[in-house]
Structures are given as C-alpha cells and as structure tokens.
Structure 1
C-alpha cells in the first residue's frame, strides 16, 4: 500500500496536478472564467454547441475522480492504522 501511495501521490502526479491548476488559474484570472476544470475548454470553444455538454461531463468526471482518490487514500490510511495498532497492542 505504501509503494502504491508513493507512486500515486509522488512527484509525477503532483506535476500533473500543478499543470492543471496553472491552466485553470490562468483562465480564471486573465479571462475571468469560473474556477472549474471545464472553464478553459468552454472559453476556448465558446461558440460551439458541444462545448457546454462536454464541459459538464468534464466537471462530473473531475468530481468522481476526486471522490474516488480521497476514498482510496482513506482506505489505505485505515489499513495502515489497523496494522500499526496490531503491532503496538498485539490485537
């Protein structure tokens, strides 16, 4: 679990999160868009019919992926806590 956690939360993952955050921040501050993952796409293709539904889908996928990553982190942490308590207390 620890090697998986280090791989998922390591430098490669944080660099991707940083790039996404910088893109969102640029469009938010320079072009006055919303602070959503779909804002750059909707701004770039604002006159296309498919931009709004695709933006809603991108935001939904982002919400689901955040929820799953948080729940997997909590699951790994609970396994580590139970392991530590088993080592310390012997139960």
Structure 2
C-alpha cells in the first residue's frame, strides 16, 4: 500500500512539473530551400517561417542585389559569405534601407 501511494505521489509531482503554466514547446522549422533547420517556440511569431518561404540562398552576397530589408536580413541570418554588414552589428544594408 505504501508503494502504491508513493507511486501516485511521484506521478502527481511529475505531472505538475511537466505541465507548468506558461511552458512552451519547441517544434522544428525546416528551411527546405536553404537546407537549414532551426527551432522556434510555439509562443513566438512565425516571421522566420514567412521569410523562408519568400527567400532562399541563391548566390546573392551584396546589398545592391537585395530588393528589401527583409530579404537582406534573411540572407545575413541564413546564408554563408554575406557582405552586407560592414560594422558587424547584425543590421544588413544600413545605408540602402535606412529610413533616416
């Protein structure tokens, strides 16, 4: 009888541990055109999913080849050999797409 109560107590404890309010579940996102996989939590936005369906790494490396800031950001974040962030701050094509 003690073992049964102990098992129930452990089960309840595990249930409460894994079902905390506000817990997020990570699910994989695959960039088929790029060959990159990443993880996104279910509570975050899906802007990276939208970007992956609009753009793919196709040899563009310079700002003059980009049609939008979103495309430049996608290339900088996901493609190798980019030459669009001269100061290394993570913001691509600052002179081309800046609003000031």
Q: Please, what TM-score do these two structures have when normalized by structure 2?
A: 0.26
Q: Which has the larger radius of gyration?
A: 2
Greater share of residues in strand: 2
Greater share of residues in helix: 1
